[in-house]
Structure formats: C-alpha cells, structure tokens
Chain A
Amino acid sequence: MLSRGGGRARPARGGGFELYSWYFFRISGLVLIFMAIFHVVVMHVVNTVDEIDFAFVADRWNSPFWRVYDMLLLFFAMLHGVNGARVSIDDYVHRAGWRIVAYSALWLITVLFLVIGAMAIVTFDPNAFDTVTAGS
C-alpha cells in the first residue's frame, strides 16, 4: 500500500450534536428510570390490565397531574428511544439510499407519534361521551 500521512482532517460535522445526544441519553435515562418504571408499576403491576378500561383512563386523566406526567413521559421516552434508533440506523444501514429511507421513516414516525400521543393527552375529554362513569 502507498500511504502518506497527515492531510488535514475533515472538520467536525454536526457541531456538538453527538455530544448532546449522548448526554441526553443519560439525563433522559435517569428521568425515565423514575417515570417509566413508576408508570409501569402503577399501570401493570399495582393495577393489572384486567382493571384498565376507558373509565380507568378517564378517571386518571381527570387530574392535570397525570396529564402532565404522561406528556413528559411521552416526550422523554420517545426522544430517548428514537435517538437510540437513530444510532442503530447509523451503525447498520449503510447504503446511501437506504439510509435516507430509514432516517426519513424514523423522523416521520417520531413526529407522527409525538403528535397523536400529545393530541390524545391534551384533547381527551371524557365528558364528550355520554357513558361517563368515573371511578374504579
């Protein structure tokens, strides 16, 4: 092989994005360990899925606390998870074409699910349906 050293390295791309992404993993992870686990424990352990129905959710979302809680959880978990998926795509998808497809799909899914998730939490109005009975 003919080798010659030292040419100027290509300038750093993306500024500090990778750094903040990495840092966000840690911060959101720490937040999630409380929020996600608490969520799972409440929803799937203390209550089991047998007890969860429309009424249960409606009751829960009567309290603004739970709406804010779920909103935060949604954003932290999604951004954390999507960031992870982004890194994985970077590692496994190489062909330029496929990369574009994969990233586009990822960002689309991200936006779409954040929007519909947020919409569900914000716009949900149990009183819009007449069968309302609160309590479990």
Chain B
Amino acid sequence: MQVNLKILRYNPEIDSKAHFETYTVEAEPTDRVLDALNEVKWTRDGTLTYRRSCAHGVCGSDAMRINGRNALACKLLIQDVGDSMTIEPLMGFRVIKDLVIDMDQFWENYKKIKPFLINDDQAPAGRERLQSQEEREVFDDTTKCIMCAACTTACPITWTNDKWVGPAAIVAAHRFIYDSRDQGQDERLNILNDRSGVWRCRTVFNCTDACPRDIKVTRAIEQVKRTMLYDNM
C-alpha cells in the first residue's frame, strides 16, 4: 500500500525554522513506521535524520510524535496508524535536527535521583542478597523502563516547566525506592520532595498513555507521593 508521511523537518545548517515535508512510499500494512521512515531515508531523501537501533522496541532510541502522540516508530505498525501520518519530534526539548532532540536535560534528571542501588552493607560473600518473590514483584513494572523519554515529553508540565524532573526519572527512582535491597530511599524521597519533584505531577496520564513498555507510570508516581506523604505524617 501507499503511505504518506508528513514529516517535520529541520536542518539547523540550512533552515531558519522547521517545516513539513511529505513523502509517499510503498509499505506493507504490517510494516513498522520505522520501516517507512527507513524507506524514505534509503530511497528518497538521505538527509532525513532520526535515531534508531534495535528496531523492536527495546532500546528506546526512536520515540517520536506520530499523529500527535508519542510512540516508538519501531513498535507502531502502519496498519494501526493508517496510510497518512504526521511525524514530529518529541516536544519539550530542543530539536537538534529533524526528529533528533537534545536529551541532555533528560539524562541530568535521571542522574539526579541517584539511579543505582545504594547499600552500604558488606555484600554477603559467595552468595546473593536474598529477596522474596513478593518483594521482587513490587517494583517489577518500573524495571522495564528503556528511557525512551516518551513519557516525559508527553507531559504538559515538561513543555512549560524546565525544572520538572519528569515521569521517567520518577519511574527510575521508583525502581530503587521499592527494592528491598536498597537503603537510599530517604535520599531519593528527599530529592523528589523538592519543588521540581513528584508534587509537580498533576495526574495528567499522558505519560502512562505514551509509555511503549506499558509501564503504569502515573501509578508509580502516585505510589511515591503516598510513601512520602505517609512518611511525613
């Protein structure tokens, strides 16, 4: 079938502002949107620029706005978006070129919440730290995150408030806060209790809708809020 891709193009070396460009390519209904983009790049216009790697939704490179909603181009099939689509870069961060955005701030937010196991006790020699299946289950959902930024850039607070840590960083914090082996809960909760932390979330749910890994993002944020509230009351 013929597919029309209307892509927001911006080349800082040539363009003073972004503009749409439309391409028509041949694709199967079961092809990924990424396949269609590749088809454009490889047969029509080699200058089209986007990030991609794994092509099956596990590396988090190719989150973009497809028909007005964030998705991974490699996880969305043509048949699910139809034969005409508008493709734009994620919102809220500076565009470097075409669909590539500057993620520096995103990674800074991630690092801010100390995304690593904090446990100062000597690890047991010759065996693992024990953890029950129930304890493991509590944070299973948030271990799935691939840091694609679909959530953070779908959140209206991100678009206007550049201090907001954003849902992805909270998801990363959640994964450790509820890990029974971790001892850094207080530190992380402190960081998220800040003006740019969890309280800035207004339960908009765009993040949850956008997450390609089906992580219940808002739920994770709400759990963190409650833990903080109950700890302080």
Contact = CB atoms under 8 A, between A and B. Distances in A.
Q: Do chains A and B touch in the complex (CB under 8 A)?
A: yes
Interface of A: 1, 3, 5-7, 9-14, 16-19, 21-23, 87, 90-92, 94
A19 B232 contact: yes
Contact of B160 (A3, A7, A12, A91): A91
A23 B229 contact: yes
Given A23-B229, A91-B160, A9 B199 contact: no
A13 B195 CA distance: 7
Given A9-B191, A22-B229, A87-B200, 9 more contacts: A7-B111, A9-B113, A9-B114, A12-B193, A12-B197, A16-B193, A19-B193, A19-B229, A94-B162
A9 B106 CA distance: 15
Nearest to A25: B199
7 contacts: A3-B104, A3-B107, A9-B191, A12-B190, A90-B161, A91-B160, A92-B161
A13 B200 CA distance: 14
Contacts of B114: 6, 9
Contact of A18 (B107, B116, B195): B195
Interface of B: 104, 107, 111-114, 116, 157, 160-162, 187, 190-191, 193-195, 197, 199-200, 225, 228-229, 232
Contacts of B197: 12, 18
Contacts of A3: 104, 107
B199 A21 contact: yes
A66 B193 CA distance: 39
A13 B232 contact: no
Given A3-B107, A18-B199, A94-B162, A12 B229 contact: no
Given A9-B114, A9-B191, A22 B160 contact: no
B160 A92 contact: yes
Contacts of B228: 19
Contacts of B187: 9
A6 B111 contact: yes
A18 B112 contact: no
Nearest to A16: B232
Contacts of A92: 160-161
B158 to A, nearest CB: 10
Contacts of B225: 22
Nearest to A94: B162
Closest 9 CB pairs of A and B: A18-B199, A91-B161, A12-B190, A22-B199, A12-B194, A9-B191, A91-B160, A5-B111, A9-B112
A14 B104 CA distance: 26
A96 to B, nearest CB: 13
A54 B161 CA distance: 46
A19 B200 CA distance: 10
Contacts of B200: 18, 87, 90-91
Contact of B194 (A1, A5, A14): A14
Given A19-B199, A23-B229, A91-B160, A13 B104 contact: no
Contact of B195 (A7, A9, A90): A90
